[in-house]
Each structure stands twice: as C-alpha cells, then as structure tokens.
Amino acid sequence: MKNSDDIQKRLRKTIAAVFELEEQHLPEDPSPQTIERWDSLGHLQLIIAIEQEFNVHFTMEKIPKLTSLELITSEVLHATR
Amino acid sequence: MNVSSPHLPAVKVAVVSSYTVDLIVRDAAQQLKNSGSEVEWFVTPFGQYRQEILSNESALLKFQPNVILIALHGPELVENSLEISDLLMAASSRFATSTILVHNCALLLPLPMKFLEWNSDRSVRRAAAEVNVALSQLVSKLPNVHLLDLEELVSRYGAEKMYDARLYYLAKMQFSPFGTQAIATQLAWALLAIGGRRKKCLILDLDNTLWGGILGEDGVEHLRLSSDGEGKAFHDFQRHILALTTTGTILAICSKNDETPALQAMDSHPDMILRKEHFAAIRINWLDKSQNIRSIAEELNIGLDALVFLDDSPQERELVRIELPAVTVPDLPNDPSAYPAFLASLPYFETFSVTEEDASRRVMYAQERQRKEIQEGAKSVEEALMSLQIKVLVQSASAFTIPRIAQLTQKTNQFNLSTKRYTEAEIRALSSDPHCIVLCVSASDRLGDSGIVGVAILKTDTSPATIDTLLMSCRVLGRGIEQALVSVMQTIAQRHGTTTLAAEYVPTKKNGMVKKFLTENGFVSLNDQNKFVLEKSGEVPRWIKVQYEEF
C-alpha cells in the first residue's frame, strides 16, 4: 500500500503543477468537477505530464476515463507493475 | 530559451489552423514570457481558417494581428494546394500590415507502400515535396508572407517522435508533447526574428575553438585544422561561420594569445577559412575577456545584448556571463566534431530575409576600419571628411528599400529620435499612406558604399508636420550625414507646403545623443523639454554632395 501512497503524493504534485495551484489548496478528491481548469484541454495536459512523470503510456481508450485521483492511481500502479 | 535581448514590444499573434494548436501556443507563450517578451495571443477555432481569413466580419480581422501563423495538416496542403495558394495571396493583401507565417508541408504518418512511393506517379511524398516548392515560390512573391519550415523539424527529429496518434484522434492535436515543444520553440524564435531581435556579432576564441590545440604551446604546424580527417571538424566549423557573414552577422576575435603569431597563423595556415579580413574587430592579448568584449562592442558601436560569445573554456564563459550578463554565451560542446551542428542549432542569427546591407556588411566594416585610419592621420576633422568625398542620396521608400528601412527601425538604438519599431509590412503601409513620407538615406565615399544608413518618416496630416522617425546608423555618425538628412527633409517638407517641423524626442537608455543633436542643429525645445520645433535647419555640410529624388 505504501507504493500507492507514494504515487498519490507524486500525482497530487503533478496535478497542482499542471493546473498552477498550490499543493495545499488542491481538493481532497481532485477531478474535473473539483478543479476549474481541468477541462478537456487541461485533461490532456495532465495526462501528458503524468506520462512524463511516471514514464508510462496510456492507451487512447483509457485516456478519457482517467478522471479522478483514484482512477489515475490505479492505472499508474497497473502500468508500472 | 535563453534570450537576454531587449523585450519585444507587445505583439499580437494570431494562429489559424486545421488542427488543435492550443498546446503549441501555450508552450510558445511560456517561452516568450520567460524571455521577457509580451505577446497577446488569439487562436481561432480549428478548421475555421478560410472564413477567418476571407470574411470581413471575422474575429481575426478585428484582432488586428501583427503576426499570423497559418498551420495546416500536411495532407490538407497536398489535397487543396491550389485553393490554399489563392488563400495565401488573399491573406497577404487582406492583412497587408501583418507578417504571415505559414508552416510548410510535413507528412507525419508512415505510408503503407514505402517501396512503391517514389517509384509511382501517385507518390504522396513527391506531391508533398512539390507543394513545398510551390509554396516557396509563392511566398517569394508575397513580401509579408514567410514559410516556417515544419518539414525540417520533422525530418530532423522524426515523424515517429513528433506525432502522437492518440492526441490526434482524441483532440485533433496531431503532435506529441515533444513535437509540440519543438514547434513552439521554432515559433517563439520566429517571432523574435520578425521583431528584429537577432544578434549582430559573433565573437570567437582561437585556441580549441577555431582550431584544435594551443598555438603558443603546440606551434602553428601542430594545430588540428585540416581539410581532411579529425581537423576537418574545425575547418567545417569555420566554413559555417563564414556562411553566417553572408546573411549579415559580423565576426570578432577575442583570444588570449600573443597577437603577432596568432595573426600570422590566421593568415598563413593553409586550412584556415577565416582570415583577418573576415573580422570586424580583433582582440588578441592577455587582458580579461570581458574587458575585451566590452571594447569590441564600443568599437563596433553595438550593444552588449547584440553579442554572442563562443569559447571552449567553461571558465572563460562563466567569467563573461558574470561580468557581462547581457552577452549571450552558449556552451560550446566538449567535442569539436559537434561544433558545426551546434552552430547550426543556434537560433540567434536567424532571419527571414537578407537585405543588401546584410550581404555586404563584412566589407563595409573593413572599409570602416580604413576610414578610421584616415581620420586619425588627417590634420583636422574637416580635412579628413573632405578627403573622403562623401555622397548622400535621399530616396523615398520603395520595394527595394523597405526591408532595410524596417531593419533600421528595429536595430537602431542610439541615434533614434522616437525608437519606434516597424515591421516591413508596417513600413509598406506607411509608404503608401498619402499623409506620410518615408525617406531613406544612402551614403557612399571614395572607400566604398555604406548602403542605406538613415531613415526619416514625416507625417504631413498634422500642423506643423511631425517627424515620426529620425534615425541614423551609428556607423556613419559624425560625418555630417545626419545634418544633411535634416536639411533635405525640410526642403522636401516645404514642397508639401509645410516649413515648420515638430519632433518629439522619446528618451531611452541609449539615445541621449539625439537630444544633443537637436539642440545643436536648429531645433527649439518648447515648454515640454522633449518637444521640439524646427523652423530653419542648418545647411548641408560643404564636404557632402547631396542628391535627392523629386518627392
């Protein structure tokens, strides 16, 4: 489980950087509903940043579905396993 | 991006495209912001480019962009090449005061029949190449339209690396994050080049930079510099540097060496390409390099921010960076075999057009050295000036002179009344305005032709007429040419029914000499210290022969 915590920590950092927010101001459950700039373009910027951060590659079908911290974490875990 | 140059004035840039360019724009905007340039961006919805260019109601027209980038899919350029040519011609005239950049055609997807490709009449790659040739021929006839070489980026980095199919299908984006960044960087540098921010002078070290080895220790016969083998890297590097001089970059040397043997090596080594005559200024001594660089800038009369310094020694580079932060000091690679490609990768000297002055600048600087020698040898300044037999020609702006006029407005910092920067497109518009007179002055003497060295722009729809721009290249200052220009300018203004001329001096850090000139040459300042009126200018100095067109 430690691995998943670590990924969440790095993800929160990446999300904050992409949407230019202070990390401590990031909502508990970052998602397009809770972050204003997380629109469709913002989503792709975030996916690109996450791929670079974790050196992973998401499929075209996966990309639109990764819309919450939980979903992204489990996908990153899956991809880096 | 490392641009320690003066800021661009706030520039309005629009992008019209057939795919989603938002990430490219965001990246370019960030790079320009980091370099201190203010840009206002406008992105039209993708696929709307025809309407945006052709409609009288378009948001693009209302935005009044200084620069427009037209970015289209490669296949679209191939399929609709004739229609797109017409569209570019329409864009050129509808947006006559804008500079228009067009990505040329690059194919990003691998073709299924690669063996058949160039062996078939239906070759897509051949069609793409033909489109690029046609585009290149077209833009050479459209003065405000330039191609931006996307194809070069794709062939350098590879389509596989630049394309991302997922982003294409999900968001019509087509470029990968890497590709996006490469395109954004190219765009940012293109905007800086259009804004006239290119560097003027490349200062070079000698030992282990222009040749391999240390002259003082190894001796000239053991230098690594040859037309074959390992030493060819230096030979090729020099050839690339020489090529830069044909597009207007001037060269200087700053080396810690004994001067006499170093100059001998330069002129006698059979494989040297760059000889003494190629350098506008030479500092070969044991002084501190930053001190030498400062004195080169003074001798050539150009700002420190117009200099690029190449030296193999990281210590020397660091010292110059600390002492002279305005000078651009790239890190030369450790391996000389990488020098030629490294030089080619530097964007500082890029330009979309080469003026006549650019092409002959090196020779002009050599003549300048001779003029200085004459002035130093003469009994009086006037005697020296008489002996030069200076001739001055004043002309109105024409298709031939507009690029150089725009260039002078962008580059002249010292003798510049208002420091208004104009693009070629803007000068073209001013010169066709009936209430505006755009003059340029060329100078020559018995040593040679200096080309166009000064510009004056008069606005005649005010009373009195206003001097919008008055500038002179610092290379020729102090010979009476600036007095001659003012005198002719007033004669021309008289023919347009106005004798009195108003001038507003706009002070900058560098143009203090203008105020002094105005007060010494018949301009009278009004209550506001920077507003001047000229009733009667001085005569043309007697050592100058002036010719001017009928205006």
pLDDT in tens, B74-129: 999 999 999 999 999 999 999 999 999 999 999 999 889 989 999 999 899 999 99
Does the beta-carbon distance from A44 to B173 stay under 8 Å?
A: yes
Alpha-carbon span A38 to B79, nearest angstrom: 36
pLDDT-above-90 percentage for chain B: 76
- What are the CA-CA distances from residue B249 to residues A55, B42, B121, B295 (Å)? 42, 33, 44, 18
CA atoms of A33 and A52, how far apart (whole Å): 24
A55 touches chain B (CB under 8 A): no
Cβ of A59 within 8 Å of Cβ of B166? The answer is yes
Chain A residues near residue B26 by CB distance under 8 angstroms: 45
- What tokens appear for B264 in the block? 């001998």
Q: Write out the H or E segment, with its range, that includes residue B515.
A: helix B512-520
pLDDT band at residue B190 under the 50/70/90 scheme: very high
Closest CA to B536 of B507, B477, B479, B493: B493
- Residue with the two structure tokens 């060269």: B251
- Residue B177 touches chain A, beta carbons under 8 Å: yes
Q: What are B478's strand-pairing partners?
A: none
**pLDDT band with cut points at 50, 70 and 90 for residue B3:** very low
Q: Peptide bond preceding B270: is omega within 30 degrees of 0, i.e. cis?
A: no
Q: Cβ of A67 under 8 Å from any chain B Cβ?
A: no
Secondary structure letter of residue B9 according to DSSP? P
SS3 B527: coil
pLDDT over 90 (residue B471): yes
Q: How many CB atoms lie within 10 A of CB B15?
A: 24
- This prediction has a pTM of 0.80
pLDDT at position B380 is: 83
B257/B299 Cα distance (integer angstroms): 20
**Calpha distance B260→B252 (Å, rounded):** 17
> What would the two tokens of residue B395 be?
């002309």
The minimum CA-CA distance between B49 and chain A, rounded to whole Å, is 20
Name the nearest CA neighbour of B471 among B503, B432, B495: B503
Phi, psi of B229 (to 5 degrees): 70, -155
C-alpha B89: how far from chain center: 25
When the pLDDT of each residue in chain B is averaged and rounded to a whole number, the result is: 92
CB B212 within 8 A of CB B234: yes
Tokens found for residue B99: 């500079």
Q: Strand B436-445 to strand B448-459: parallel, antiparallel, or no bridges (unpaired)?
A: antiparallel
| Contact A17/B at CB under 8 A | no
Whether chain B has a CB inside 8 Å of the CB on A40: the answer is yes
- Of the pLDDT bands very low, low, confident and very high (cuts 50, 70, 90), residue B528 is confident
Kindly give the pairing relationship between strand B390-396 and strand B436-445.
antiparallel
The distance of Cα B501 from the centroid of its chain, to the nearest Å, equals: 31
Tell me whether B43 touches chain A (CB under 8 Å).
no
Residue B171 at interface with chain A, using a CB cutoff of 8 Å? yes
Q: How far is B22 from chain A (nearest CA, A)?
A: 8
How close A1 comes to chain B (CA, Å)? Answer: 31
What pLDDT, on the 0 to 100 scale, is given for residue B449? Answer: 86
Q: How many angstroms separate the CA of residue A63 from the nearest CA in chain B?
A: 9
Q: What whole-number distance in Å separates Cα of residue B347 and Cα of residue B344?
A: 8
**Cβ contacts (< 8 Å) between B160 and chain A: which residues?**
none
Distance from CA of A2 to the nearest CA of B (A): 31
Yes or no, beta carbons of B171 and A40 under 8 Å apart: yes
Q: What's the CA gap between B181 and B23, in Å, rounded?
A: 9
Name the residue among A44, A52, A59 with its Cβ closest to that of B171: A44
CB pairs under 8 A between A and B: 24
- Mean pLDDT, to the nearest integer, of B431-460? 92
Give the helix/strand (H/E) hosting B486.
Answer: helix B481-495
Q: Which residues of A touch B177 (CB under 8 A)?
A: 48, 51-52
Model pLDDT, residue B1: 46
| AA letter at B169 | Y
ipTM, two decimals, is: 0.91
Read off the pLDDT band of B369 (50, 70, 90).
confident
Yes or no, beta carbons of A44 and B169 under 8 Å apart: no
Q: Is the dihedral of CA B292, B294, B297, B301 positive or negative?
A: negative
What is residue B7's predicted lDDT score, i.e. its pLDDT?
Answer: 45
Chain A residue with the nearest C-alpha to that of B177: A48
Q: Of the candidates A40, A45, A63, which has its C-beta nearest B166's C-beta?
A: A63
Q: Which helix (H) or strand (E) holds B310?
A: strand B307-310
Residue of B nearest to A59 (CA): B166
Span B39-52, mean pLDDT?
92
B6, pLDDT greater than 50:
no
With CA atoms as reference, report the closest residue to B478 among B382, B407, B374.
Answer: B382
To probe the interface with A, which of B23, B170, B181 has the most A CB atoms within 10 Å? B170
CA distances from B218 to B11, B176, B211, B221, B315 (A): 52, 49, 12, 8, 21
Q: Tell me the nearest-neighbour CA distance from A48 into chain B, angstroms.
A: 7
pLDDT of B4 over the 50 cut: no
Task: Kindly write down the DSSP assignment for every residue of A21-34, as one continuous string.
Answer: --GGGS-SS-STTT
Q: Which one of B20, B165, B177 has the shortest CB-CB distance to A48?
A: B177
Q: Are B92 and B144 in contact (CB under 8 A)?
A: yes
Reported as a single tens digit per residue, the pLDDT across B281-333 is 999 999 999 999 999 999 888 899 999 999 999 999 999 999 999 999 999 99
Residues B201-223, mean pLDDT to the nearest whole number? 95
pLDDT of amino acid B550 = 66
Q: What is the mean pLDDT of residues B389-397?
A: 93
pLDDT at B5 over 50: no
pLDDT tens by residue, B114-173: 899 999 998 999 999 999 999 999 999 999 999 999 999 999 999 999 999 999 999 999
Neighbours of B443 (CB within 10 A): 24
Q: How many CA atoms lie within 13 A of B355 on its CB side?
A: 20
DSSP string, B342-376: HHHH--TT--S---HHHHHHHHHHHHHHHHHHHHH
Q: How far apart are CA B221 and CA A35, in angstroms?
A: 69
| Range B231-258 average pLDDT | 95
Residue from the list A51, A52, A60 with its beta carbon closest to the beta carbon of B170: A60
Q: Name the region of B36 (left: φ>0; alpha: ψ -120 to 50; beta: rest).
A: left
Contact (CB<8Å) B166/A45 = no
* pLDDT-derived band at B8, boundaries 50, 70, 90: very low
User: How far separated are the first and last CA of chain A, in Å rounded?
Assistant: 13
For residue B57, what are its two tokens? Answer: 């109601």
Give the length of chain A.
81
Q: Please tell me which residue of chain A has the smallest CA distance to B172.
A: A41
Residue B152 one-letter amino acid? E
The two structure tokens encoding residue B157: 């980095």
